[in-house]
C-alpha cells in the first residue's frame, strides 16, 4: 500500500453541508463545502482510494439524517465508502448497506445493545468496523457526548471474536485540532488486536501520516484525514 492509498479523506455531513468539528464539539463547526457530494468526488479525483463519510446529525440524534446525500455519494463515486453516524439499529445498518456502502462504523450500539450488534455482525460479516472513540482515555459514545468506563483496548477486546472487519480508533481530544494523532494509542491497539486498525483524529501534516504508516506492518491499514487536506496541509495530488 502506498502512502497515498493509506490516507482516507473524511467527508463529515452536518445540516446538508461538508463540515469539520473541533474536538467533537457540535457547536464548533467550520463549513468547507455546501455540497458533500462534490467534496467526495473531489477527493476521488485527487486520487483517494477510499472515503470516510460521517453523518454528524445522525451521530447526535441517534439515527441517520443525511441518507439521501450518502446515497448520492455512493452513486457518484466508484471507490469504497465507510460510513458512520447514528447507526444504532439493525434496520438502519441494513438500509445503509443496501445503497452500496462498503463498511459501516458502529460504536454506540455495540456498547448499548450487544445483542443487536451481534445480530448485525452475524448478518453482515466483515462489513462492520467497530468505532472506538476515546476521550481522556475512555471510550465515548452518543456522538462523543457520553464517556463509558472502558479503555479503548478493553472495549475492542469484547468484540475480538466477532466477524467484524476491524477497528476505527479516534482520539476525540485531537479530532479537528491539527495537533498530531495519538500514534502510541493507535500502535498499542494494533499490537494487541488481531484485526486491522484505522487511525483517526489530529492529523496535521504528511509527517503525521508517515509516522503512522511506519506501523502498517502491525495491522494499521489507513488513517482518516479531514481538516489537514481541507486546509491544504496535505496535498493528495503531490503524493
Can you tell me the mean pLDDT for 134-161? 88
Contact 100, 74 (CB under 8 A): yes
For residues 24-31, give the mean pLDDT.
76
Residue 177 has pLDDT above 70, yes or no: no
Mean predicted confidence (pLDDT) in 42-60? 94
Choose the weakest-confidence range: 10-14, 18-22, 71-75, 93-97: 18-22
How confident is the model over 211-236, as pLDDT tens digits? 999 999 999 999 999 999 999 999 99
Active site residue ranges: 12, 133
**pLDDT of 170 strictly over 60:** yes
pLDDT tens digit string along 63-118? 889 999 999 999 999 999 999 999 999 999 999 999 999 999 999 899 999 999 99
Query: Which domain CATH number covers 13?
Result: 3.20.20.70
More confident: 87 or 25: 87
Alpha carbon distance, N-terminus to C-terminus of the chain: 13
What's the pLDDT score for residue 35?
A: 96
Say if residue 183's pLDDT is above 80.
yes
Per the CB < 8 A criterion, the answer to whether 204 and 228 are in contact is yes
> Lowest mean pLDDT: which of 10-24, 56-70, 156-170, 180-194?
10-24
Residue-wise pLDDT for 116-147, tens only, equals 999 999 999 999 999 999 988 899 887 666 78
What distances in angstroms separate CA 151 from CA 133, 134, 140, 176, 189, one per listed residue? 10, 8, 10, 22, 11
- Domain extent for 77: 3-238
21 has a pLDDT exceeding 90: no
pLDDT at position 23 is 62
Look at the chain and report how many structural domains it folds into: 1
Judged against a pLDDT cut of 80, whether residue 166 lies above it is answered with: yes
Q: For position 176, what pLDDT does the model report?
A: 60
Considering only 124-128, 141-145, 170-174, 179-183, which range has the smallest mean pLDDT?
141-145
User: By three-state DSSP, how is residue 105 classified?
Assistant: strand
pLDDT at 179: 74
Quote the CA–CA distance of 63 and 57 in Å, as a whole number.
8
Average pLDDT in the chain: 92
Amino acid at each position: 500500500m502506498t502512502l497515498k492509498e493509506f490516507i482516507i479523506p473524511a467527508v463529515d455531513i452536518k445540516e446538508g453541508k461538508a463540515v469539520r468539528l473541533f474536538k467533537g464539539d457540535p457547536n464548533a463547526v467550520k463549513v468547507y463545502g455546501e455540497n458533500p457530494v462534490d467534496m467526495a468526488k473531489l477527493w476521488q479525483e485527487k486520487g483517494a482510494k477510499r472515503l470516510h463519510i460521517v453523518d454528524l446529525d445522525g451521530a447526535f440524534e441517534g439515527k441517520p439524517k443525511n441518507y439521501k446525500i450518502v446515497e448520492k455519494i455512493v452513486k457518484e463515486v466508484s471507490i469504497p465508502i465507510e460510513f458512520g453516524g447514528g447507526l444504532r439499529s439493525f434496520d438502519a445498518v441494513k438500509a445503509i448497506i443496501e445503497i452500496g456502502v462498503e463498511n459501516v462504523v458502529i460504536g454506540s450500539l455495540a456498547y448499548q445493545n450487544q445483542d443487536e450488534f451481534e445480530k448485525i455482525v452475524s448478518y453482515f460479516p466483515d462489513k462492520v468496523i467497530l468505532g472506538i472513540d476515546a476521550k481522556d482515555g475512555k471510550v465515548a459514545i452518543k456522538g462523543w457526548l457520553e464517556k463509558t468506563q472502558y479503555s479503548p483496548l478493553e472495549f475492542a477486546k469484547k468484540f475480538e471474536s466477532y466477524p467484524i472487519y476491524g477497528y476505527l480508533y479516534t482520539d476525540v481530544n485531537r479530532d479537528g485540532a491539527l495537533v498530531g494523532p495519538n500514534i502510541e494509542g493507535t500502535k498499542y491497539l494494533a499490537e494487541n488486536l488481531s484485526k486491522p486498525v484505522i487511525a483517526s483524529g489530529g492529523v496535521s501534516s504528511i509527517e503525521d501520516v508517515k509516522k503512522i504508516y511506519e506501523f502498517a506492518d502491525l495491522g494499521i491499514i489507513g488513517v482518516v484525514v479531514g481538516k489537514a487536506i481541507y486546509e491544504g496541509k496535505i496535498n493528495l495530488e503531490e503524493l
